[in-house]
Structure formats: C-alpha cells, structure tokens
Structure 1
Amino acid sequence: MKIRKRYILLIILSILPFYKIIHFDDYCINDVDYLLIAILSIIVLVAFLAILFYNLYLISIHKEIFNYRPLLIFGVFAIALYFGINYPDFKPFKSIDYKFSHKKNSKYVAKIILYDDATFILKTKFATESCTQNGNYVFKNDSLKLKLHHPTKNSEIFDSVYVFDKTKKKLIPKTSNYPVFGLN
C-alpha cells in the first residue's frame, strides 16, 4: 500500500492544532489560542477539500478508484478536535472524588477538582482566559492540604490548607482573606 505525499501532508496539518489543545502540565488558554486553532483547522479543511476534489478528478478520468483515506483522516481530526475543545480536562484513567467551585461574578469562576489518585486541578476562568494548575492533595480528617506542582506567588484565590465542613458542604480556607469553595 503506497501512502501518497498528499495524505502525509493532510496528517501533518491535522496534528498541528493539537499543540494548543493537549497539555501535560499547567497551562492557560485564551481567545488568541482559540483563533489560532480555528485558523489551523481551516487550513486542514482547505487541504482536505483540495485532496478530495483532486481524487474525484482522478476518478472521473479513470486513473484511480475511490480512496477513503482523506475522509478517514479528516473524520478522526474532526472528532479529536471536538473532544479536545469541549472536554479539555478529561482524564480517562482517573475518576473525580470531589468538585468544589467559587463564583465571584459572571466573568470569574474558580474550581478545585479532586481525583481519586490524590491529584487535583485548580481551574480558573476569567472573561477571555482559562487557566489550569495541577497538584497533589492530602485529605486528613476534615483538613485538605493542597500543593501545586508550580506554585504561584500572591495568589488571590488559592490557599494551601482548607477545612471541609461536611454540614455546609464547603471548603473553608485557613486564611480568612481567601474565598470559600462550595461542593458541586
């Protein structure tokens, strides 16, 4: 089976948007990143259509039979792009133990998501930007101790020690100037 250069080009172009979608460490994504993903996706669409019409032309002059490869490559790209954008924090081998959130106003939301393997993510959403930080936690009695992998100085929303109030279902910070997170 001979793989043609045009299919290799389509595969390479299909991989390019995922460098802004797939993250293994702390990251922030904003409107400029989404615009870049859209531009790269349009380039993939144009390359797909050009290859598809070229293949249809070769079929019409009886030099080639129908080839499903461009459809398969573009279909996998479209499905992966959909899941990458709509479910950025999906962890297939982890399950969520607790999910806490704090909403300051309509333009600012913070979430702490605790996983079953003693890891957590702190997700902050602003008007045009979303940031995710990873870390580990220890839950002893009613105390929750959080440790970020890459701590930030002067964080306005994140305390490293919280008390879990089971009756109110809230995380209450040890330091009083940090916000209280409610259980979702």
Structure 2
Amino acid sequence: MSILGIDLAGSEKRPTGIAYFKDNRILTKVVYKDEEILKIAKNFSKIFIDAPLSLPKGRDSLEVNNGIHFRECDIKLRKLKIKFFPLTLGPMRKLTERAIKLKIILKEQNKKVFEVFPGGFYDIMKLSRKNKEEIIKFYKNLGFELEDKKFIQDELDAIACLLTGLMHEKGESFILDGIDGSIILPRIENNLKLRSY
C-alpha cells in the first residue's frame, strides 16, 4: 500500500519519524533534512503528516499576530476534548511553515497530502500518548510485525500517522473538515475492537 506516515519535526536539527508498510511489516526511519523526506516520499502516493498544513482563515502570516489562532478543524478538535498546541504558538510556527512548504512540493509531484494527529489517535485508542511500551503492544495486537529495535517517540508517532492513513483508506476514519483545513482521525467507536488489517 503506497502510503507514508511522517511525524514531522519543526527543525531539520530534530528527528523526523517516518513509517511505511513492507508486506505486513511496519518499517520506520529517522531522518532530519527536507531532502531526505522528499527522497523517501517519491516512492509513495499518499502522505499522512503530523503537522498543520494550512493557516487559519484570515491569517496571512505566522509572523504577524492578528488575533486569529485556530482553524475550523482545530475548533472541532477542541470540542472533542483532544488537547493540541495552536499552530501560532512558539515552536509550532516553525513546524507549520516547514509542513506547508513540504506540502506544496509534494502536491507539485502529484502526491496526495493529508494532515493527521497522533495525539488524537492515541486519545481515541485510549492510549497514553508517551507510554512507548503500551503503544508498541497496541500496534502488535493489531497484527502488525514491528522491527526488533528501540523506537524513539517520533517513530511511534509516525506509525500512528501511517495507521490513520490506512484506516482512512479503508473508510474507518472521520475528517474534521473546515474551510481552512482538515484533520483526519480514526473513527470513534464506543467499543473499539483490535483487528488485524
């Protein structure tokens, strides 16, 4: 399946997590530079990125504060009681700028680019956002084979991006849509059952 999960860092000095499928295995990598991300993305048609991919309506710049901080999809995320950092807050500005730049390049290469949110994925799946052991166990219980290595959080978050993308492909997601952007999340079900894909 030609989908790629990216947990994007705000700076090329910090690790960006990458995740993709090979057979029924999930492979992950850690990269830093935009050129590394773009080189890997050439092999995939659909890219699911953990980063804001648009600015709020009425906000032309992240540098000039006009009091507009949230997109419609952000407001919907907040109504679900899913915590997140506003894209206009401190380091989030650099992340947003980088993500929008990469999105433009990827779309010029005829890739489909989607915004996802691992924090929301974990909340919906009733997982602690930073409990690596719990997250890894959850992924394995879904029926996926993971590499035998020590994962950093960015890689686990990239897998959450990848699995959100897979669920989206299978019609098992929902979209927080708005006129100024959208966020894809796993479908909320009262009795979520672990299932193998």
Q: Provide TM-score, normalisation by structure 2.
A: 0.25
Q: Relative contact order (alpha carbons < 8 A, sep ≥ 6): 1 or 2 greater?
A: 2
Higher strand share: 1
Structure number with greater Rg is 1
